[in-house]
Chains A and B, each alone.
Chain A
Amino acid sequence: DTAVSQTPKYLVTQMGNDKSIKCEQNLGHDTMYWYKQDSKKFLKIMFSYNNKELIINETVPNRFSPKSPDKAHLNLHINSLELGDSAVYFCASSQDPGRVDEKLFFGSGTQLSVL
């Protein structure tokens, strides 16, 4: 069983389109995250949710809107896609983000290519 699963694995789309990425975790964790990894492998946090409540909202364009229907799911919707949105998007979860040694569990990523 995959602990953190995200779909789709690959997403190729045209500029201006709207797309969604879905994420589910079966670890029973309370906190979920979205990270963006650029072509240089730089991994940066975008959002985090704790039990459906938004905790971290980095300086991300408001074209990006996360939605958490329950604590096991965190989806990412992107409006009006731009070339610069091309990256790998990772979903992650953790049990207790208050612990400074907290371990994150990552999904396998969604490779988004905007043409």
Chain B
Amino acid sequence: QKEVEQDPGPLSVPEGAIVSLNCTYSNSAFQYFMWYRQYSRKGPELLMYTYSSGNKEDGRFTAQVDKSSKYISLFIRDSQPSDSATYLCAVYNQGGKLIFGQGTELSVKP
């Protein structure tokens, strides 16, 4: 079983839609969860990180962790064409390595 699994997409939504991106993880000991955003032909960049359970909000973006179900989500409100990118969830495993999900390619159509 992979340590982090992510819906591969691709996902296409109209501008203004609410987007939900999801990952599951295997080890209940994981505590820090991250979302990276990767634009086409660029390297990933950290978008948000959360610790343990609960929500964290940053503008139109909300990261949510449900430790009981080992599920992490990223919500994007009022999505914009500039949000079109690949979104990768990531966790630090107990070996200190940053493990990425497969990435979900999101396209927001004007």
Contact = CB atoms under 8 A, between A and B. Distances in A.
A103 B100 contact: no
A92 B42 CA distance: 12
B31 A45 contact: no
B98 A42 contact: no
Interface string B69-108: 0000000000000000010100010001111101101000
Contacts, number: 54
Interface residues of B, number: 24
A101 B8 CA distance: 24
Interface in A84-111: 90, 92, 97-98, 100-109
Interface of B: 8, 31-32, 34, 38, 41-46, 49, 51, 86, 88, 92, 96-100, 102-103, 105
Interface of A: 4, 40-45, 56, 90, 92, 97-98, 100-109
Given A41-B103, A43-B100, 15 more contacts: A4-B43, A40-B102, A42-B100, A42-B102, A43-B88, A45-B97, A45-B98, A56-B96, A56-B97, A101-B51, A104-B44, A105-B45, A108-B41, A108-B42, A109-B41
